[in-house]
Structure 1
Amino acid sequence: MPKNDVNRKSSLAVLRNRLAAVAALIPADVRCVADIGYDHGRLIKKLVQTRPEIRAIGVELQPHYIDQFWRLNIFENEADRHRVDLRTGSGLAPLYPGEADCLVLAGIGETAIANILTADPKKLLGVSSLVLAPSRYFIKLRAVLRELGFFTAKEDLVFERGNFYHLALAQRGSDPAENSLIWHFGPRLFEAQHPGLYQFLTYLKPYLAVRMPFIEQQEPSFQVYLKQLDSAIKIARQFAEEKDKG
């Protein structure tokens, strides 16, 4: 087996599933989490069962998700049930300003995430943390976060069912790496020399190249992004080679 294949397998083995990775990004001091687009409610159930201090709000567009949640999720402790508040509506509309200090937007495209976050800035009052796990790439979100006064404080990668996913915890403030090349591709991943970084970036290049015409319509700066990707891959490869030597 070629050495690169061995390195790839050993690197990917440490990547957690998306649910665990999303839950791990929620800060310890959070008291109320709003999961926007909670679907089957697996994250809400996990948080309620493992974080007794947290109150969980779930928002879905269609009302049938509420009945589905209670059919799929059984809580032995009645007190845990009362910490779950499910609502119907679009995006952040069902939330009151200042109600949740952490928003989770996972499993939807980054364009949808951007639209939800920018639809009504008042809904972000009191929100200190955003946990974002777009369904594919993480290109335009970084600039959107900057405009909203957030930056990616933590980042992680998940390799699941043959695909990479880029996750981030965004908090209020500015990014010291904003003017550097690595800002576009995950500065926290580079700073931590994430074990899956090189494989992620080499996966990203052909994935994005195939989708370039569609992405360019939504993201005019995509050509610059794609050109800088080669330099980012070179840096990540150096990290990987140094780890192999060590």
Structure 2
Amino acid sequence: MELSPRLEKITTLIPKGSTLADIGTDHAYIPVYCSKNKITKSALAMDLNEGPLSRADINIKKYGFEGQIKTRLSDGLSNLLPGEADVIVIAGMGGLLIRDIIEKGKTVIDDNTILILQPMIAPVELREFLYSFGFNIEDEYIVREEDKFYNIFKVKKGDFSPSDSDLYIGKNLSKNSPDEIEAYLDYKIRVCKKIVDGMKKSDNPDVLMLKKYEAELEIYILSKKELSK
């Protein structure tokens, strides 16, 4: 089984011998890959809807992992019991939805739980929530697939006071190559500049939002200058 670069990177952050809960599992690609490569002892493939779980069951049976991977209907973490998983993956969703899942399911997250999060949108808002809610992003990675960039966070409970750069760009990005970071910053500058230019052309722009995006754009530009030194 081959995974996309995004999903494969997620599996590299899962410690060997872990018990895994994959939230929003869809086809159970991550649990199956981890079982096949002897990364996890056991896994729960969890989803809100029956359709994705049916697809997950097909893949699990195809590769013969019925004994190691169980599917479970669950709205986020609602049907995960405390202590059932030491690694929780929540990937391929919006950052605000990931935030809501963590907030509602906080009782199953203890000091040793590793969260691996991959927001499709709103990474800044997710970072803000994590840092304000008693979590620390221990490592962060950028993965590029064609013309898109994805943020992947490895998170545990802990205290950290982030800088603006930590919130908008991420911290501990040194494990990514300078070329990857530069390409990511170029992408963020393009996107942010497009938003700022569009708002400035509006007859009635939201002044507060415009200032927010202008400040964000400045952070990306300054970070790129620092990278070039």
Length-normalised TM-score, structure 2: 0.81
Q: Which residue of 1 aligns with 2:30?
A: 43
- Higher mean displacement: 100-109 or 65-74: 65-74
Query: SS at 1:154's partner residue?
Result: strand
Note the residue ranges of structure 2 that are not aligned, 5 or more in a row.
200-207
Q: In structure 2, what is the Cα distance between the partners aligned to 1:103 and 1:51?
A: 17
Q: Which residue of 2 aligns with 1:56?
A: 43
Q: In structure 2, what is the Cα distance between the partners aligned to 1:164 and 1:136?
A: 10
* 1:67-98 deviation line (CA, Å, top 9, x unaligned): 21232344555xx3211011112111110122
1:61-140 alignment runs, 5 A limit? 61-77=48-64, 80-125=65-110, 128-140=113-125
Query: SS at 2:49's partner residue?
Result: coil
Is the CA contact (8 Å cut-off) linking 1:33 and 1:56 kept in structure 2? yes
Q: In structure 1, what is the Cα distance between the partners aligned to 2:27 and 2:120?
A: 16
- Please state how far the C-alpha of 1:135 moved relative to its aligned partner: 1.0
Identity across matched positions, percent: 23
Backbone CA RMSD of aligned residues = 2.7
Q: Which residue of 2 aligns with 1:11?
A: none
Length-normalised TM-score, structure 1: 0.76
Q: Which residue of 2 aligns with 1:5?
A: none
Q: Does 1:158 align with 2:162?
A: no
Q: Which residue of 1 aligns with 2:153?
A: 168
- Give the number of aligned pairs: 215
Is the CA contact (8 Å cut-off) linking 1:88 and 1:94 kept in structure 2? yes
Q: Which residue of 2 aligns with 1:182?
A: 165
Q: In structure 1, what is the Cα distance between the partners aligned to 2:108 and 2:116?
A: 16
Is the CA contact (8 Å cut-off) linking 1:181 and 1:232 kept in structure 2? no
Is the CA contact (8 Å cut-off) linking 1:154 and 1:169 kept in structure 2? yes
Relative contact order, CA 8 A, sep 6+: which one is greater? Answer: 1
Residues 96 and 233 of structure 1: CA distance in aligned 2, closer, same or farther (over 3 Å): same
Moved over 6 A (4+): none
Query: SS at 1:98's partner residue?
Result: coil
